[in-house]
Amino acid sequence: MIHKIKQSRSEKILLFFLISLFIFSSGSFFIIKNKCLFIKDHDPNKIKFIHPENIAILRAPCGNVIIELYPNISPNSVKRFKMLIERKEYDNVAFHRVIKNVLVQSGDTEYGKRESLNYAKIGNGKSKYGTINTETDNNFDFGKGTVAMARTYERNSEDTQFFILLKDAPLFEGEYSPVGKVKYGLDVLKKIKYDNKTEYILRPDFIETFRMLRSIN
């Protein structure tokens, strides 16, 4: 006859703790791995655009960010931005600076590449293309979704870096060169990795690809 072994109270508590720990760990892993679960991934090929030649598609970890560029507002900045996109300079570049619900910044093609990420210098990179002049428009609305060229504290220092606003920033008007606005996918950007303690991100998310619409049709 086989006698059933009765568990002690301490053994039951330990078993309950281990099961609870497993469930919590599994749930946390599921949440982290599925941060994109409720984010809509917009297909640009199913959207009709008035000016398709000015539509750019940034592929982020949670989906597409569809941007309309404004060459009539900042012609030289948009020309530079398009050139960098067409040459695939932004592929695998980090979102190195993120302020939760305020902005995301990327585009350091020297120190922000996935394969050669330099935490000590990221954000200070320069390109072989040189800088361009600041193009401001006091009438441009720096509202949520605005895409603009980043610069140093000095004007006329724009190069490859850019930022995208996650909230309205009227104080930026007349200060930065706007290149466009997000038409679809702002929620995708809100899922970019951030740190509540610092703007500069350790183990950041990356741009997967960045293409002009006409190059993917």
> What confidence tens digit (pLDDT) does each residue in 112-166 have?
999 999 999 999 999 999 999 999 998 999 999 999 999 999 999 999 999 999 9
Instruction: Give me the residue spans of the domains in the chain.
Output: 44-216
Per-residue pLDDT at 25 exceeds 70: no
CATH classification of 44-216 is 3.40.50.2000, yes or no? Answer: no
- For the stretch 59-110, pLDDT in tens is 999 999 999 999 999 999 999 999 999 999 999 999 999 999 999 999 999 9
Question: What confidence tier does 7 reach under pLDDT thresholds 50, 70, 90?
Answer: low
The pTM is what? 0.85
- For the stretch 63-75, pLDDT in tens is 999 999 999 999 9
Question: What confidence tier does 34 reach under pLDDT thresholds 50, 70, 90?
Answer: confident
The confidence score (pLDDT) of residue 18 equals 53
User: Region 177-205: what's the mean pLDDT?
Assistant: 96
The confidence score (pLDDT) of residue 94 equals 98
* Cα angle 117, 120, 125; round to 5: 65
| Percentage with pLDDT > 70 across the chain | 84
The confidence score (pLDDT) of residue 216 equals 84
The confidence score (pLDDT) of residue 37 equals 87
